[in-house]
Amino acid sequence: MIMLLFLLLFKLIPANCLDSVQGRIVGGYTPSPNSIKYIVSIQSSKGQHFCGGCLVHKSWVLTAAHCNIGMDQMMLVAGDYTLGVFEGTEQYSKPLSLVPHPQYNRSTNNADIMLIKLSAPIELNRYVSLAPLPKQNAGLLAGRVCRVSGWGSTSHSGGLKPLILRTVKLPIVSTSRCNSSNSFSGNITTNMICAGSNTGGKDACKGDSGGPLVCDGRVYGLVSWGNGCGDPRFPGVYTAVSRFRRWIDQTIYSTFSRCLKSAGLFSREV
Ligand SMILES: *[C@@H]1O[C@H](CO)[C@@H](O)[C@H](O)[C@H]1NC(C)=O
Ligand SMILES: *[C@@H]1O[C@H](CO)[C@@H](O)[C@H](O)[C@H]1NC(C)=O
Ligand SMILES: *[C@@H]1O[C@H](CO)[C@@H](O)[C@H](O)[C@H]1NC(C)=O
């Protein structure tokens, strides 16, 4: 349990897990500016990036539950590309409320998913769009190639150097392999999916937590936990978003209809 907690936290809190590798998306490349329009940087109130997320509604961001550091400490930035440089495409919003999944278990990492309601809606434009989600319980076959993106900054050790978004393509690893005694030995639940290269060297890493794993244009995974970064024996473990599609819709639309009702508005759309 201590081990798991450590494994979980290294992706969130700057640690020494990765002094040998770059503390960011491992083995990837820099996508062209604002080509991944749904990605959100979650920053501390001091402007320090610590997690990723994605925009699923103009007033809601989807991320990992372990990115919850308290509402007052968090700022969300959409439309960003180079952290630490104002490029004119960024939109900022503070959270209005946090909705971590009620079954989230920080010792097993099960149900590591959270919705953040924004205090002001984000404007959708050339730089910002919504992330499409998979249907409830939609599955992925092993070998399907997906991509994970993030800033994965290394806190103060990175200084004020601008950090450009990175992305890496990775195949889905079967749950049976990921859950086997050669790998995570029984710690993979049905609410998790694994992705990583057979030969290692490609992975999400600390600071990428909560960020989107996109397959066929939909967000199937959220960076959750792992064991080191880029080790072929230990693929990255992601929250299986398709297991939570119904919860996401219920959370977003039940709050939304309450708001409409309290504002005296009605709409058949919602
Ligand atoms: C988390 O999971 C562990 C192991 O299954 C269980 O013992 C514990 O009660 C769970 N904690 C919560 C808060 O659900
Ligand atoms: C799996 O979980 C057990 C019990 O929580 C832990 O002792 C073990 O280190 C974990 N193994 C891996 C590979 O994560
Ligand atoms: C992973 O292995 C454990 C222990 O054998 C098992 O309880 C669990 O259901 C397995 N997970 C999945 C998703 O099959």
Model confidence over 151-172: pLDDT tens digits?
A: 985 433 444 456 899 999 999 9
Q: Record the pTM.
A: 0.86
Taking the CA of 193 as reference, the closest ligand is 3
Range of lowest pLDDT (26-30, 36-40, 255-259): 255-259
- Residue 209 Cβ inside 6 Å of ligand 3? The answer reads no
pLDDT class for 262, splitting at 50, 70, 90? Answer: low
Mutational pocket test of ligand 1: of 2, 3, 107, 112, the residue with most ligand atoms within 8 Å of the beta carbon: 107
Instruction: Please state, in angstroms and as integers, the Cα–Cα distance from residue 171 to each residue in 85, 97, 139, 174, following that order.
Output: 32, 34, 14, 10
- Give CA–CA dist 15/179, Å, rounded: 25
Tens of pLDDT along 170-192?
999 999 999 999 999 999 999 99
Domains along the sequence of the chain with CATH:
39-118 (2.40.10.10), 144-242 (2.40.10.10)
Q: Where are the beta strands (DSSP E) in the chain?
A: 39-44, 49-57, 60-63, 74-78, 82-83, 91-93, 95-100, 114-118, 145-150, 163-164, 166-173, 192-195, 212-215, 218-225, 236-240
